[in-house]
Amino acid sequence: MSRPTVGVALLGLGTVGQGVWKHLTAQRGDLEARLGVRLDIRGVAVRRRARARGVKVPSRLLTTDARRLVDDPRSGVIIELIGGVTVARTLVLRALRAGKTVITANKALLCEHGPEVLAAAKAGGGRLFLEGSVGGGIPIVKTLREGLVANRFDLIVGIVNGTSNYILTRMGEDGLSFDAALEEARRKGYAEADPSLDVDGVDAWHKAAILGFLAHGKWAPRSRALVEGIRKVSPADIGFARKFGYTLKHLAVVRRDLRAGWMSVGVYPALVPSGDILAKVSGVNNGITLRGDVVGVTTLAGPGAGADATASAVLGDLADALLEIRGGARPGADLHALAKAGRSVPMAPEEAIVSPFYLRLTLKDTHGVLAGIYRTFARHKVSIARVVQYEHPDTGTGTLTLSTYPGNERDMARVVAELARLRTVLEPPTLLRIFAP
């Protein structure tokens, strides 16, 4: 029996695009043999044809006209690796409305325009694959949609941004300042010239929103989520965390109260118990823990970014897409049914989001200063669990670090706002969450 031929178009030849091209061409024969198809690479869309790249692509395949590739009737699979939410959005919507299969690693597009993308797929009969959008080489999308589809998840927590994890690892292991660790990350190619998407938590937020959708069918609005980066973290905070038995990590946290029904999504630096498996995920690696009502707790960890890790995810999606095109079963939970089920999921109110907190204050060393601090906590019914005080001789100042018993976000925000107004508090308070499974 002859093998069917499937046309594939690649949009974008940046870092990930080059990784996909390298591995697709190297493994092409094996993929075709395993999947029973022939691949017809219809073209590779680039912004500029004449540009030095780390891979060689035949000039006949290079084009600056991405729309032509999308509209090509023989391009059955479109691999979108352009990034951004302007040109990529237009091309993805066009392909899906034409009934084509789209594979994307574009977390910003999915997070910001997920409902529109799914609506286009439903209207045109197109199919969407998104493994490369979260976790790099960690098969978290397939795990949620297939392997653990029988579970309801009350907790998904992970380290999903390799740049932030590398910076915090270097600050913790060698006492580097944030700026020094960031500069080192830039030199090693782990951080962009403008690292704001990574260190301000935006990239992690995009991924957290996708995880929330895959688990619960709801796209969490940014306005109802806590999104914090790592700029405010100091070596002092990392040192204090270690003394308390914690490791400081940047987390994406998706919670669901299976009784009340609400979900919450947050991205923020947090103190993780040093014995937790996520505390041991170092460098640019990612790790994601899932807690399901059937499987219990399971953790996936591995390379979370880079050309090879993401290329592995994209090519895994390509394999699934080709099997489906050959007439196989559609893999995984249906995204449209998932979105329909998620319409009734409410976002958690602030008073329902509960955790212990860590707070660092720089204080004027004067009589009665601690009494004022304690009164503020008592007024808002937040209980202090532990206090460590350090004096700075000859400066007239001191540092107070404390942890609280579990309290809610609303009350703790009121405590911090009131403390910041005290004349004895010399710098803006540093507030971090303590991760409590």
Name the residues annotated as catalytic. 207
Using CA atoms, how far apart are residues 74 and 6, in angstroms rounded to an integer? 8
| Residue 130 to residues 47, 297, 337, 377, 390, Cα–Cα distance (Å) | 23, 24, 16, 45, 49
The answer for 178, left when phi > 0, alpha when psi is -120 to 50, beta otherwise, is: alpha
Backbone angles phi, psi at 81, to 5 degrees: -130, 30
Tell whether the torsion through CA atoms of 319, 325, 329 and 330 is positive or negative.
positive
The answer for 136, left when phi > 0, alpha when psi is -120 to 50, beta otherwise, is: left
Task: Give the position of tokens 């869309």.
Answer: 45
**Six-digit token string for 367:** 């009589």
Using CA atoms, how far apart are residues 36 and 33, in angstroms rounded to an integer? 5
Amino acid, res. 226: L
**Six-digit token string for 23:** 């591995």
